[in-house]
Amino acid sequence: MRGHIRKRGKDSWTIVLSLGHDPSSGKRLQKWVSIKGTKRDAEKALAELIHSIEEGSYIKPHRLTVGEWLNQWLESYVALHSSPRTAENYGSVIRRHLIPSLGALLLSQLRPQHLQSYYARALSQGRADGQGGLSAASVLRHHKVISQALGHAVKQGLVARNVAQACDPPHPARPSMSTLAEGDVPRFLATAQGTPYYVLFYTALYTGMRRGELLGLRWGDLDLDMATLSVVQTLQRVGGAYIIKEPKSQRSRRQVSLPPSLALLLRKYRTEQSALHVLLGKPLSDGDLVFAHPDGLPFDPSTVSHQFARVLRKAGLPHIRLHDLRHTHASLMLKAGIHPKIVSERLGHASVAITLDTYSHTVPGLQEAAAQRFDQMLKPQREHLSEEGEVSKRLADAPGPDMEVATPEAVTTSLKGRGKEEGECSWTGKSPSL
């Protein structure tokens, strides 16, 4: 099957598919589809349309249901353009929630009120086990999924507009950020020291790395002589299988400087791992994971999180997530006066604005401290100006060495006799008005 695209107008394209020839008339058969978006969007839509027709999964737009479109979108777009973990999460939302509630509706007949009613039902009784409603955060995530799917349907010319954009999904309150208090760090590390995950937890706290970044770290990514590591991949578990993938964004690919204590700890940890691998008959290589079982298998992400919670309970510390060690790292660095740009680079944020928006409110007194530092910085200049002002004031108020303080009577007397007539001012020729 062949096809091509034609430009119709600004951000508007037509896909022309060649379907062969009519057996009876011999006329050439074509299919025309309108697409909105960029040329690249049109080319992607062309490829997906050819694939669906060849696979026999193509359904005419006017008969396409919401459920059929969501499944098509999962298979033809999400699976190709998203990470395995994202595809798995989207699939769960679609199959467990969206299709059972909205799947029977024709895509062309879906209206904002359908989605608005679904959000209300999901909040009150949306749990799959029937034990109550979903959280506002979960319903907002459902909204984002179906909005993306409908946006893609608009690009392919299946519907005229994205009705999800006319809806008002719930907006959950921003959750309060939990961190490990500075004074609790020694107790946490002392408790973790007796576990196989001690070095992992130490690295998380001292670098601010994400869980997947830590589990995907290889010995070849470390330069212990220069005390640096490179974040170039992450590890996830999807559907029972371990998947290595690139970091979530280009800025997430970064180099992180190691504190001296962490560099020494990792050097000792490598020596221990190397000796163990020799005993097992498999020398340690740069391609081996830093945080793994003795046989080389990765640590399970959920197991690492559960072990972290156990350490907190054993240490008698408040419950926080493993990801909150990343927040702890950032908050303590900001509290120590480290420039937000440096903190942003260590965390792999897209911009320093994200860092400031996320963490500035977690460090009490930052604004007060900044105001005091600014005041102290300008104090010498302020005192200098004050001294100059006092001197100027004294000079202005003091009479000169040969001057006497004049009284009104003395001024009047001095004016008399200086003009051509008595009391006449010499420079105007007129009597002064006092």
Find out whether 69 and 153 touch, Cβ atoms under 8 Å: yes
Which is nearest to 332 in space by CA: 183, 159, 137? Answer: 183
What 3-state class would DSSP assign to 321?
coil
What was the pLDDT predicted at 304?
97
Give percent of the chain above pLDDT 90. 50
Find out whether 324 and 180 touch, Cβ atoms under 8 Å: yes
Which is nearest to 295 in space by CA: 306, 304, 311, 284? Answer: 284
The secondary structure of 368-430 as a DSSP string is HHHHHHHHHHHHHHHHHHHHHHHHHHHHHHSPPTT--PPPHHHHHHHHTTTSSSTT--TTTSS
- Determine whether 91 is exposed, middle or buried from the number of CB atoms within 10 Å of its CB (0-12, 13-18, 19+): middle
What was the pLDDT predicted at 394?
61
Find out whether 204 and 198 touch, Cβ atoms under 8 Å: no
What was the pLDDT predicted at 388?
62
What was the pLDDT predicted at 56?
55
- Regions of the chain short of the pLDDT cut 50: 403, 405, 411, 415, 418-434
Which is nearest to 53 in space by CA: 2, 6, 107, 105? Answer: 2
Complete domains list, the chain, with CATH = 1-58 (no CATH), 65-173 (1.10.150.130), 187-315 (1.10.443.10)
Which is nearest to 59 in space by CA: 43, 75, 44? Answer: 75
What was the pLDDT predicted at 424?
47
pLDDT digits (tens, 9 = 90+) for 182-224: 999 999 999 999 899 999 999 999 999 999 999 999 999 999 9
Cα(170)–Cα(302) distance, integer angstroms: 29
What was the pLDDT predicted at 419?
47
Retrieve residue 84's tokens.
């395995």
The secondary structure of 121-140 as a DSSP string is HHHHH--TTSSSPPPHHHHH
What was the pLDDT predicted at 427?
41
Find out whether 155 and 41 touch, Cβ atoms under 8 Å: yes
Retrieve residue 104's tokens.
């029977």
What was the pLDDT predicted at 397?
63
